[in-house]
Amino acid sequence: MRFLSFCLLLLLTVTCAQAQNAAASATWTTDLTTAMQQAKATNKPVLAIFSGSDWCKPCIMLKEEVFDKPEFGQFAKDKFVLARFDFPRARKNKLPAAQTKVNEQAAAQFNKEGAFPLVVLISPEGKVLAKTGYRPGGVAAYDAYLTQLLAKR
Q: What tens digit of pLDDT does each residue of 32-76 get? A: 999 999 999 999 999 999 999 999 999 999 999 999 999 999 999
Angstrom CA distances, 77 to 4, 9, 25, 123, stand at: 38, 31, 9, 16
- Residue 15's pLDDT is 44
Q: Which CATH class is domain 26-151?
A: alpha beta
C-alpha span between 59 and 3 (Å, rounded): 46
Q: Name the least confident of 24-28, 84-88, 108-112, 134-138.
A: 24-28
pLDDT at position 26, please? Answer: 82
Give the pLDDT score at 152: 81
Report the alpha-carbon distance of residue 73 to residue 86 in Å, rounded: 19
pTM, full prediction:
0.82
